[in-house]
Amino acid sequence: MNTPVSKADSLGVIGLGTMGYGAAVSAQRRKFSTIGLDISPQNIRRFEESGGTVARDIADIAAQCDAFLILVVNAAQTEQVLFGDGGLIHHARPGSVVIAAATVDPALPPLWEARLAEKGIHFIDGPVSGGAVKAEAGDMTVMASGKPEAFIVAEDALAAYSGKVYRLGDKAGPGSTVKMVNQHLAGVHIAAACEAMALGIRAGADPHQLYEVICNSAGMSWMFQNRVPHILNGDYTPLSAVNIFVKDLGIVLDAAQKLSMALPLASSAHQLYLGAAGAGFGQQDDSAVIKLYAQMTGIELPTAKEGP
């Protein structure tokens, strides 16, 4: 199908959770026409309170936008948005573009690209990284792959919510492959940070001093610097939950199995997240992996600070 190619000038963000909300408010702040959609009344209210406009449903957002950023939790939710009853494939205009940003099996985006192409809808495999702070600052990294014409349509929309867009290939798939590798590293680094902090506490080090020293030493990682303050503050409000890494490292290990490749570090980290989820911490921040070590060793973790 010959599909129109012109730059999108309006963005529909479907999924207003931690990352989606940040993307939407960033695009809005940059004066890019932005509309949000979420099934959570709380998420909708938060976006509206920031000055955002929300759609009633997918048909409504498709009628108003020509680019769509899907920032939901997993592949199943992405497929529901794309192909379910009332999904984008039934309502998006030919020539519009869909950017799928959830972490998924890299084998799926090429299938989505082909199905949408039958309806004249462009597609970009565009997972993101950066966390809540970078999302709200409009500074996320986008790991994107897709056909050149899809990038033409999505160019301004991508710039509206990101800090850096990497073009990784001229078809869907490489974006999710690179994100999978990122999640391998992120999951292992968080698990290692929790284990290291548990070791230091068990050996008698002051956790606050330990954090400060490591952040200025060779053992520091971005994840250590970002996640350990949650532990020090005793605040496990989920910015990224334990269950996210149960899923994401599961994707990593499934892909590795297909490649006949052993990943012992990822496997060990996955077991820690599974253990933390099994212990009841699955909905807590991923730094709650340290609670598993606390149960095993009896160490006392910092507690939440009381208000004035």
Catalytic residue positions, numbered: 179
Closest CA to 100 of 195, 90, 110: 110
How many CB atoms neighbour CB 4 within 10 A?
Answer: 13
Question: And the tokens for 204?
Answer: 């008698």
Question: And the tokens for 219?
Answer: 């053992």
Question: And the tokens for 144?
Answer: 């994107």
3-state secondary structure 98-133: EEECCCCCCCHHHHHHHHHHCCCCEEEECCEECHHH
Rounded CA-CA distance 153/147 in Å is: 10
Q: Tell me which DSSP letter residue 285 carries.
A: B
What percent of the chain is helix, strand and coil (3-state, nearest 5)? 55, 15, 30
Closest CA to 274 of 237, 248, 238: 248
H or E element: which one contains 146?
strand 140-146
Q: Distances in Å between the alpha carbon of 32 and those of 143, 146, 172, 183, 255?
A: 21, 22, 25, 30, 37
How many CB atoms neighbour CB 70 within 10 A?
Answer: 24
Question: And the tokens for 239?
Answer: 């910015």
CB 122 within 8 A of CB 171: no
Burial grade of 236 (CB within 10 A; 0-12, 13-18, 19 or more): buried
